[in-house]
Amino acid sequence: DIVMTQSPDSLAVSLGERATFNCKSSQSVLYSSNNKNYLAWYQQKPGQPPKLLIYWASSRESGVPDRFSGRGSGTDFTLTISSLQAEDVAVYYCQQYYRTPQTFGQGTKVEIK
Amino acid sequence: QVQLQESGPGLVKPSETLSLTCTVSGGSMSNYYWNWIRQPPGKGLEWIGYIYYSGDTNYNPSLKSRVTISVDTSKKQFSLKLTSVTAADTAVYYCARATTVVSYFDLWGRGTLVTVSS
């Protein structure tokens, strides 16, 4: 299985500040034939299911605010919240869909400082 | 819009079979892959398996010997059976939609907590 490792485990950021967290895969999730990274990001608020934010490493899902952005390639990826809002408090998960079984990172918890 | 709703017993005894159903409302099951994903309390997410609307299935090897996913397109439902459960199977179980065989999940149900306990 491809192991997804996220860092840090938790992060406290002031309102309006930038929040950046990382996801590393144990092998590349870049498919050379189409140059796409098979990597998604989700946001999970307490008591709710995960919500898809980003797919193909950098494509924003419809309706997701543009303060959320994803970047990276191969094995190293980043999700950035450009200006943290109170409603962004959540756990964020990355997921690879390059190979079955699809696997998730352990999550990064984002809190307000 | 399309919605997913899980249903089933919230308590299952050890060694018995966990059975859950996901009902799809507001849209068609055709051309999508229908998945089960679970999350133990306070922990991360684990993909269990999927069924295509035509009936093709694929399971996580870690659970394959105990899992069966089936579909009833006439009722717009798909179901999960997990046999020989233990306390380690206690989790929130989600149903989710994907657009391809190995994919991200663009639509999730609200989840249902299943506790394995005598």
Q: pLDDT (tens digit, 9 = 90+) per residue, B56-100?
A: 999 999 999 999 999 999 999 999 999 999 999 999 999 999 999
Instruction: Check CB contact of B58 with chain A, cutoff 8 Å.
Output: yes
CB contact under 8 A, B44 and A100: no
Handedness of CA B81, B85, B89, B90 (dihedral sign): positive
Tell me how far CA of residue A53 lies from CA of A6, B33, B88, in angstroms. Answer: 16, 19, 29
pLDDT score of A105: 98
Nearest to B44 among A40, A52, A106 (CB): A106
> Chain A to chain B, count of Cβ pairs less than 8 Å apart?
51
pLDDT of residue B102: 85
Are residues A30 and A77 in contact, defined by beta-carbon separation less than 8 angstroms? Answer: no
Which among B62, B104, B108 has the least Cβ separation from residue A40? B104
User: In this predicted structure, what is the pLDDT of residue A8?
Assistant: 97
Q: What is the mean pLDDT of residues B10-17?
A: 98
Q: How far apart are CA A22 and CA A18, in angstroms?
A: 14
Residue B51 confidence (pLDDT): 97
